[in-house]
Amino acid sequence: MGSAGTREFDVVVLGGGSTGENVADVVVRGGLTAALVEAELVGGECSYWACMPSKALLRGSEALAAARAVDGARQAVTGGQEVAATLARRDSFASNWDDSGQEKWVDDAGIELVRGVGRLDGERAVVVTAPDGGTVRLTARSAVAVCTGSAPRVPRVDGLRDVDPWTSREATSAQQVPGRLLVVGGGYVGCEMATAWAALGAQVTVLQRGQRLLATLEPEAGDAVAASLRALGVDVRLGTEVTAAHREGGEVVLATGDGELRGDEVLVATGRRARTDDLGVDTVGLEPGRYLDVDDTLRVRGVPWLYGVGDVNGRRQLTHMGKYQARQAGAAIVARARGEQASDADWAPTAATADRLATPSVVFTDPQVAAVGLSRARAQADGVPHRVVTHPIGSVGGAALHADGYSGTAVALVDPEREVLLGVTFVGPGVGELLHAATVAIVGEVPIPRLWHAVPSYPTISEVWLRLLEAYRG
């Protein structure tokens, strides 16, 4: 089919995931018109292939582990996890890969949904190719926001692309438990999916090129998760690099420095890449395949009408940070459209700073790892003065009540001159719910002497805050 002509909006948003939805919602609430362009499912990666389905896969084993950790409840657990029910519950959290509910939300929000593959086509213009082959040209009076996110990166290993590897998408949406799963990469995705599928009965091997899992986090995190995975029956191989891959019949065969490994499926979890390679960024003077370089209002440097929001700018590739950036970018677009700012020097209300100062994240393994702010390694690399304080979480009364034999660690980095927190990491069962208090303390730069007056309830795991303060005081 041919072209359907040109349509004009105040803002055109490329990518209908959670980031794009939030940009469009903010600008429409601000009185502008917006088109949301999406080629796949509205709601994006998080809703269908990442956050929601992965955590649904993990929740059953987490609930069973919590029950087994309490004497009296342990005796009531007489069976294992029911695989079919777990997968069905996962499917429900992914809306059975049906975005009609999200489509209704977009319509109710006053946003125009345009289905198809969108590409930049020069200044303030996007050409969308619809599923039937027809095209429409969208032009923007104020801004184009690129919210196309990131995609799994498959490393250049001989034969690896040819064995039809799983990425995070297949790992979170698989309809059967693999007999033998080889996991290449020991980061967030690799550790979570190894935990989930091992708990559902798969024989899992994790191959990590470095010497520690979760290498960007505190060492206590990677060590604890490796020990937990091994206790679950996972073969964790550190310092192991995959050099080649091929299939023999239905088997995946990986060549490594430790010899040959065989499995039914291989999950490649070795990082992400920007989805800008086939986006038409070259038509506005940018290099395809690169992350978009943005300022703190998420505006692309050198292209004043173009915004790069969420994973596509590479700043912090987490759903909640993409939504945060979306709110900030949307506010900046509205303010600029109204001419409310005299100059680019005064953008504090719309600047995105949290992704630089205090990005919270949780790894939903067993134990959980919850972290915000700087790690020891990052502070050392950046030359930031710091003092490290640690405390075993299991020593507080609330943790002992939470689980028999509770084992975990709290790590805090303190600026010794300003006496404010720089970073906090919790490792242990259920610690994800402790994280927001740490985030508030870091973002608010709450002085340590003031934190003494934030009294934790007794008996809760939050008592560990008091113990950290006592350890800092010495």
Please provide the DSSP assignment of 9-31 as one string: EEEEEE--BHHHHHHHHHHHHTT
55 a known binding residue? yes
**What are the strands of the beta sheet with 409-415, ordered from one edge?**
361-363, 368-373, 420-428, 409-415, 387-392
179 a known binding residue? no
271 a known binding residue? yes
Cβ atoms within 10 Å, residue 80: 12
State the Cα–Cα distance between residues 209 and 186, nearest whole angstrom: 8
- With H, G, I as helix, E, B as strand and everything else as coil, classify residue 400: helix
149 a known binding residue? yes
Is the separation of the CB atoms in 407 and 396 below 8 Å?
no
- For residue 291, give the DSSP letter: P
State the Cα–Cα distance between residues 229 and 237, nearest whole angstrom: 11
Neighbouring residues of 374: CB distance < 8 A, sequence distance ≥ 6? 382, 384, 386, 413, 422, 423
Q: Which sign, positive or negative, has the C-alpha torsion 129, 320, 354, 424? A: negative
Please provide the DSSP assignment of 319-344 as one string: HHHHHHHHHHHHHHHHHHHHT--SST
191 a known binding residue? yes
State which amino acid sits at residue 443.
Answer: V
187 a known binding residue? yes
189 a known binding residue? yes
80 a known binding residue? no
* Rounded (10°) CA dihedral 81, 85, 86, 92: -160
Cβ atoms within 10 Å, residue 75: 10
373 a known binding residue? no
423 a known binding residue? no
Is the separation of the CB atoms in 218 and 411 below 8 Å?
yes
- With H, G, I as helix, E, B as strand and everything else as coil, classify residue 258: coil
Is the separation of the CB atoms in 262 and 253 below 8 Å?
yes
104 a known binding residue? no
148 a known binding residue? yes
Dihedral pair phi/psi, residue 151, rounded to 5°: -130, 155
State which amino acid sits at residue 77.
Answer: V
472 a known binding residue? no
Angle at 198 between CA 194 and CA 202, to 5 degrees: 115
State the Cα–Cα distance between residues 471 and 474, nearest whole angstrom: 5
Known binding residues for NAD(+)? 185-192, 271
Known binding residues for FAD? 55, 118, 148-150, 311
Known binding residues? 55, 118, 148-150, 185-192, 271, 311
